[in-house]
A = this chain, B = another copy of it.
Amino acid sequence: MNKKHLMSLAFDLASKGGSKTFPNPNVGAIIYKDGKIIGKGFHRFFGDHHAEIHALNEAGENAKESMMFVTLEPCSHYGKTPPCVDAIIKAGVKKVFIAMKDPNPLVSGNGIKKLISANIQVEVGLLEKKAKKFYQDYSKRFTKKTSFVSLKYAMTLDGKIATSTGDSKWISSEKSREWVHKFRTQFDGILVGVNTIIKDNPELTSHGKGKNPVRIILDPDLIIPLNSKVIKDENPTVIIHSNIKSEKIKRLQKHNKFLIYIKSKNGLIDFRKILDELRRISIFSVLIEGGGFTNWSALKSGVVDEIVTFVSPKIVGGKNSITPVEGEGIQKISKALKTKITRFEKIGEDILIISKVIKNE
């Protein structure tokens, strides 16, 4: 077997990790010696051993004087697991083929340097073109500095997203909801407030219409129920919180959910900081499907690029019904946040309005 073929097999292995390794990238590794593959490994889920470790474990003592094919530069720093380069050196691997350097500027090249210092032969760039495509989203983490944010809600003809009792099923027609499921596939992440999880326990998926975005739950006090669908199922979920001391952190991590801690200010988490953190885990486009308060926080922070509104021809009235954007609000109409309608059409029984937020920057 030629080396390109072996690296290609490593990529096939890498792919098996799928969305379960989130937010880690998919990595595959193969150990080859005397014309035979003696070890195979891939990163199976977030918190699991890295690909190199699985492959070394399979090869055992036989790894000595072998060749390793790995899809991404082995790590040289402590993360959730000890550095892979240390294990490679210890196993006595003779030569390491690496498809691509780690694009993270803080680690890029350090793994390679450490291997070379240990007198291991290193060849970087085998199937590099394939690797660049494979790690496209992961690479963006270290280059892309902006996110695209869309805010979506369905309201009645009299401007309500839920009645005074919190009922919101269903404001928009079935066709509109199907449109939304498909629309979700265009996003890396879909963000809601924890109250939406508590009240509706939604799946927040594309319902088979395509790629599922990562669920992002804004939950400052970590009050999310552990039996929520977004916690129990296997799709990735990110929880953004401000409660560093919560004993729930460990229990959520056991469910392989990814927690991001951001300090809050007056009980509010800054949406700009949220987006900064999300870019670090390859989430560059976010669809916000929040309640009135989450939507207000996002709009106020100036991160929203576009608003997707469904207007459903129903009237519910009610002084205490819930509206799409609440919070403190703006007092003068002349100071209102302005948008420009870029598209409007009838979807099922409803009117869809898409508008671009006009930013004064």
Q: Which residue of B lies closest to A166 (CB)?
A: B331
Q: Is the CB of B353 within 8 A of A157?
A: yes
Asked if residues B155 and A331 are in contact (CB atoms below 8 Å), the reply is: no
Check A278 for interface membership: any CB of B closer than 8 A: no
The range of chain A's interface size is 35 or more
- Enumerate A285-326 residues with CB–CB distance to B below 8 Å: 292, 295-296, 299-300, 307, 309, 311, 313-321, 323-326
- 22 residue pairs from A and B, CB less than 8 Å apart: A155-B158, A157-B355, A158-B324, A159-B160, A162-B333, A163-B329, A299-B315, A313-B340, A314-B337, A314-B338, A315-B325, A315-B339, A316-B325, A316-B333, A316-B336, A317-B325, A317-B327, A318-B325, A318-B326, A318-B329, A319-B327, A351-B353
Query: Does A183 make an interface contact (CB < 8 A)?
Result: no
Residues of B within 8 A of A296 (CB): 317
**In A48-76, which residues have CB < 8 Å from any B CB?**
none
Cβ-based interface call for A227 (8 A): no
The verdict on A19 contacting chain B, using a C-beta distance below 8 Å, is no
Question: How far is B332's CA from A170's CA once the two chains are assembled, in angstroms?
Answer: 10
Q: Are A341 and B313 in contact (CB under 8 A)?
A: yes
Instruction: Let me know if A330 is at the binding interface, CB within 8 A.
Output: yes
Q: For the complex, is A328 an interface residue (Cβ under 8 Å from B)?
A: yes
CA separation between A72 and B139, bound complex, in Å?
A: 88
Q: Is the CB of A344 within 8 A of B336?
A: no
Given contacts A165-B331, A337-B314, A346-B341, contact A323 B320 (CB under 8 A): no
How far is the CB of A158 from the nearest CB of chain B, in Å?
4
Which one of B316, B328, B337 lies within 8 Å of A315 (CB-CB)? Answer: B337
Is A80 in the interface zone, CB < 8 Å from B?
no
Within 8 A of B (CB), among A344-361: 344, 346, 349, 351, 353, 355
| CA of A296 to CA of B330, assembled, Å | 24
Among B159, B167, B299, B330, the residue within 8 A (CB) of A324 is: B159
Cα A327 to Cα B163 in complex, Å, equals 12
CB distance from A289 to the nearest CB of B (A): 15
Cβ-defined contact, A314 with B340, below 8 A: no
- Per CB-CB distance, the 7 closest pairs between chain A and chain B, nearest first, are A159-B159, A318-B329, A314-B336, A158-B325, A317-B329, A317-B325, A315-B337
Q: In chain B, what residue has the closest Cβ to A297?
A: B317
Q: How far is the CA of A86 from the CA of B321 in the complex (A)?
A: 61
How far, in Å, is A16 (CB) from chain B's closest CB? 43
CB of A245 within 8 Å of the partner chain: no
Flag whether A93 is at the interface (Cβ < 8 A): no
The answer on a CB contact under 8 Å between B341 and A344 is no
For A168, list chain B residues within 8 Å (CB): 333
Q: What chain B residues lie within 8 Å of A313 (beta carbons)?
A: 338-341, 353, 355
Report the Cα distance A158→B308, complex, angstroms: 11
